[in-house]
């Protein structure tokens, strides 16, 4: 009887406490993770910090692992709680190992007694940079090490699936890791498949120099992490090699349909970010269409859109659509879902109807002072003597359902409207110049 009571008490003490779902996200790095594991590479070794429902040393009972990745605040404790909440909502907590790695900076270790072999990074860690100390170990090396541990049948004999999910800056990290990661577990034929979930990132890695909304005077639009130029030590391979491998990896783009604020605090509003679209949801749709056009025969990737959710990791992952993406099951609750590059393309990817020409505007030769740079050859230029405000109001009334784009460098007498997406996108650009209002209609400049 005493043995039975002791076992029951141990079960209670070891059970995972499900956090309150309404806890607000902090604006700091939160608590220092209370677990660590040794990462060993040819360049050295060090301890990486993490939160977990169990230890990466092993667990004989779990069948699924969720590695949930924090954003720029490094608040792994909050993301860990989100993972626990999602697993509980899916009625899968008892069989799920939730892991939240923490990529600490030196200031996060201040006041704590930790091993001198604890890894810490500079602020460039989201891009896969090497740790400052005690060894040059990339954040991507840490993911490789986590996957290797989870794939070890002696440590986790019942494990059948690994999910790596990131939101916001965490989504950027996961997307780039899906591109450059070296773990064999990411590829077909792995003993335990890895599913990568990219949720509401600010930007994506492009394999070519094409962008949906090219920006003028933007030399870094194709630099790492937007493209391959200047990639960190960990990254090897050509863009073509990386792309061929990337589309065979199981990646889900999980996006909130209300993540559309072009002025959201953490949105990448550099010219490299703006070249990918005006907001996160539009950038995702551009990117999904981009991959789909380049691989019309299909990929191993898919997408799922969560209805009316803005930039909120907890509402994304714990939604019915988010739970289906993470734990499997019907995606009927999603606003939209489908395959990337499949025979059923994402709705809205078809070329839009050409925008209307302002009444009375006359086809004209574009003056050198109109537009940020020379428009594509297929663009058409028109001019009218009507004032700028009148022309803009006319287009606003007729294109009210499309995205109005205000790019860096625009004056009060300039405006633009983005019609459609992907390869079929068109822009209506309106500018007052030398006593006339000029209108350019064509592909993004």
Helix residue ranges, H only, 312-358: 313-317, 320-327
pLDDT (0 to 100) of residue 146: 98
> Tens of pLDDT along 346-403?
534 444 556 788 899 998 999 988 886 677 776 889 999 999 999 988 888 887 667 7
Q: Is the pLDDT higher at 293 or at 27?
A: 293
CB atoms closer than 10 angstroms to residue 127:
19
Secondary structure letter of residue 365 according to DSSP: P
> What is the domain partition of the chain in residue ranges?
13-339, 362-442
Secondary structure letter of residue 352 according to DSSP: P
The predicted model gives 96-111 an average pLDDT of: 96
Look-up of token digits 């440590």: 155
> Tens of pLDDT along 229-279?
999 999 999 999 999 999 999 999 999 999 999 889 899 999 999 889 889
> Tens of pLDDT along 38-70?
999 999 999 999 999 999 999 999 999 999 999
Token reading at 348: 């809205």
Residues 254, 197 contacting (CB under 8 angstroms): yes
pLDDT (0 to 100) of residue 29: 67
**Separation between Cα atoms, residue 76 and residue 99, nearest integer Å:** 9
Secondary structure letter of residue 168 according to DSSP: T
Confidence band of 24 (pLDDT split at 50, 70, 90): low
pLDDT (0 to 100) of residue 349: 44
- 3-state DSSP call for residue 171? helix
pLDDT (0 to 100) of residue 23: 64
The predicted model gives 293-309 an average pLDDT of: 94
pLDDT (0 to 100) of residue 435: 94
Residues 110, 79 contacting (CB under 8 angstroms): no
pLDDT (0 to 100) of residue 4: 33
pLDDT (0 to 100) of residue 403: 76
DSSP H or E run through 150: helix 139-150
Global pTM reads 0.77
Phi, psi of 102 (to 5 degrees): -125, 115
CB atoms closer than 10 angstroms to residue 253:
26
- Is 50 exceeded by the pLDDT of residue 344? no
Token reading at 107: 């200031």
**Separation between Cα atoms, residue 166 and residue 183, nearest integer Å:** 18
- Is 80 exceeded by the pLDDT of residue 15? no
Beta-bridge mates of residue 403:
418
pLDDT (0 to 100) of residue 441: 87
- Percent of the chain whose predicted confidence (pLDDT) is above 90: 68
**Separation between Cα atoms, residue 431 and residue 370, nearest integer Å:** 7
147-149-151 Cα angle (round to 5) = 65
pLDDT (0 to 100) of residue 20: 59
- Is 60 exceeded by the pLDDT of residue 132? yes
- Is 70 exceeded by the pLDDT of residue 422? no
pLDDT (0 to 100) of residue 216: 72
The predicted model gives 22-27 an average pLDDT of: 65
Q: CA torsion 34→40→43→49, rounded to 10°? A: -10
**Separation between Cα atoms, residue 395 and residue 213, nearest integer Å:** 19
Is it true that domain 13-339 has CATH number 3.40.50.1820? yes
Sheet holding 64-69, edge to edge: 35-41, 44-52, 96-102, 64-69, 161-167, 194-199, 251-256, 302-306, 336-339
Concatenating the DSSP letter of every residue in 192-230 gives S-EEEEEES-S----SSS--SS--TT-TTTTBTTTSSBT
36-41-45 Cα angle (round to 5) = 45
**Separation between Cα atoms, residue 116 and residue 47, nearest integer Å:** 9
For residue 197, CA distances in Å to 169, 253, 303, 419 come to 13, 6, 9, 28
pLDDT (0 to 100) of residue 12: 35
The predicted model gives 183-188 an average pLDDT of: 96
pLDDT (0 to 100) of residue 409: 66
């Amino acid at each position: 009887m005493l043995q039975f009571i002791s076992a029951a008490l141990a079960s209670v003490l070891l059970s995972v406490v499900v956090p309150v779902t309404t806890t607000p996200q902090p604006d700091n790095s939160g608590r220092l993770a209370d677990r660590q594991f040794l990462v060993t590479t040819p360049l050295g070794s060090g301890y990486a910090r993490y939160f977990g429902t169990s230890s990466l040393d092993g667990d004989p009972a779990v069948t699924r692992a969720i590695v949930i990745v924090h954003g720029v605040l490094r608040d792994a404790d909050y993301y860990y709680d989100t993972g626990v909440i999602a697993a509980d909502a899916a009625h899968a907590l008892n069989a799920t190992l939730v892991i939240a790695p923490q990529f600490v900076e030196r200031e996060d270790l201040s006041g704590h007694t930790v091993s001198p072999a604890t890894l810490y990074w500079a602020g460039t860690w989201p891009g896969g940079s090497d740790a400052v100390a005690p060894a040059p170990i990339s954040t991507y090396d840490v993911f490789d090490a986590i996957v290797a541990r989870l794939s070890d049948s002696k440590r986790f004999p019942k494990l059948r699936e690994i999910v790596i999910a990131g939101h916001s800056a965490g989504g950027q990290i996961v997307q780039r890791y899906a591109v450059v990661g070296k773990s064999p577990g990411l590829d077909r034929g792995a003993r335990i498949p890895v599913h990568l979930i990219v949720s509401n990132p600010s930007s994506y890695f492009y394999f070519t120099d094409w962008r949906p909304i090219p920006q003028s005077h933007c030399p870094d639009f194709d630099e790492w992490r937007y493209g391959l130029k200047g990639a960190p030590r960990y990254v090897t391979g050509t863009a073509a090699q990386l792309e061929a491998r990337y589309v065979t990896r199981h990646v889900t783009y999980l996006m909130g349909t209300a993540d559309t604020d072009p002025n959201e605090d953490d949105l990448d509003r550099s010219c490299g970010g703006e070249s990918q679209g005006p907001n996160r949801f539009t950038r995702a749709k551009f990117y999904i269409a981009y991959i789909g056009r380049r691989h019309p025969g299909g990929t191993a990737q898919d997408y799922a859109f969560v209805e009316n959710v803005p930039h909120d990791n907890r509402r994304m992952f714990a939604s019915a659509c988010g739970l289906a993406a993470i734990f499997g099951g019907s995606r009927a609750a999603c606003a939209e879902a489908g395959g990337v590059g499949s025979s059923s393309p994402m709705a809205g990817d078809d070329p839009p109807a050409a925008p209307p020409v302002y009444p009375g505007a006359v086809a004209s030769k574009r003056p050198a002072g109109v537009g940020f740079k020379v428009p594509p050859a297929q663009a058409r230029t028109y001019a009218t003597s009507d004032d700028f405000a009148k022309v803009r109001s006319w287009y606003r009334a007729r294109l009210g359902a499309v995205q109005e784009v205000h790019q860096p460098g625009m004056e009060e007498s300039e405006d633009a409207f983005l019609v459609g997406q992907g390869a079929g996108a068109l822009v209506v650009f309106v500018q007052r110049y030398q006593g006339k209002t000029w209108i350019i209609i064509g592909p993004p400049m």
